[in-house]
Amino acid sequence: MLEITITPPATIELVRQNILKYKNPLGLKGRELTSWAEGLSFSSHSEYLFYTGTEYQMLPYIDSLVKALKTMNQLGSGKKILFGLRNLVDKFGFNPEKVYAGILAKDREKTANILRKHVQLLNFLGITPQYLGEEELYAGALLYEYGYLNDVREISLKLTEIFKSRGVKKIIVASPHAAEMFRKIYPMFVDFPFEVFTMPEFLKACIDKLPKKTYTQKITIHDPCRLARELGVVTEIREVLKNNCESEIIELPQSGRFTTCCGGATKLLFPELAEALAKQRVQELERSGGEEIVTACPYCYFNLSQYTTLPVKDLTEILL
């Protein structure tokens, strides 16, 4: 019998080990993930849970990790990395704090503000949700895409147990990648009895209670792949904007289920591809004549923002 040994690319194993050890793909710690929530209203007794999956928090750090990985490859260390980023100090002299030292406070504040807007909107709607804080685990989308199904199963079991122990009934998810995991992937591994909402869906369900405002800028919507194609969430963003902001929305031929990928989710493995896809999508968006780009995905927000002069905003930023 022919035996084939397959060694996963270094970046994949690095991300995997970070998730297993630090509960997020970048190996971030405590306040790097939770400081955004300081001063906000949460309740440990609510049936609602606001779940970030650590995804918006990671955005400002991704480019620094990509640069570090390129440096490791140049030093010959990319052949087989079987430990997380924070363990690279001993082996290669990398200091993770230095790797991430170039992160600007304003970039961290941008993504933190988006998460705060999510919670402030929920509070406006009369909901004071739970937040897991440092107990929160990344949902495991990258592990699923990389083929580590046993790891996904373990994470799904852990998160399900945490949710049940806290009395959670309804989960409002900041990222469509995590929402897809909860709705489509976790049920293959575990009984997952929770009602899962993406933010656009939840806002649409509460559309008559949302704040009203006049928003004069012309808006071009970028539909995230996972949100539109995998979850079928397309009309919700448009209905909320039209009803609550009286916004003029410009539609692209490449929208809804036919949206063009921004490349953001490929950045750790294929940074050059992510850049090419983002530039292609930005050209489509800029040709629309819109004055702002609105989306509802952390990776779309981050990747598009890097390659356009137009403001890129999360849906929640428009409403508050």
269: helix, coil or strand?
coil
Beta pairing class for 48-51 and 170-173 = parallel
Separation in Å, CA 217 to CA 62, 151, 177, 210, 314: 30, 45, 28, 19, 14
pTM: 0.90
Q: What confidence tier does 99 reach under pLDDT thresholds 50, 70, 90?
A: low
The whole-number pLDDT of residue 80 equals 44
Helix extents (H) in 125-259: 141-146, 149-165, 176-180, 199-205, 225, 235-245
255-279: per-residue pLDDT in tens?
Answer: 999 999 999 988 888 888 999 999 9
58-81: per-residue pLDDT in tens?
Answer: 998 888 777 776 666 555 544 444
Domain(s) of CATH 3.40.50.1860: residues in the chain: 211-319
Does the domain spanning 211-319 belong to CATH 3.40.50.150? no
Question: How many other C-beta atoms are found inside a 10 Å radius of the C-beta of residue 263?
Answer: 25
Check if the beta carbon of residue 183 is closer than 8 Å to that of residue 261: no
Q: Give the rounded distance of the alpha carbon of 92 from its chain centre.
A: 30
- Mean pLDDT for 124-143 is 98
Beta pairing class for 170-173 and 248-250 = unpaired
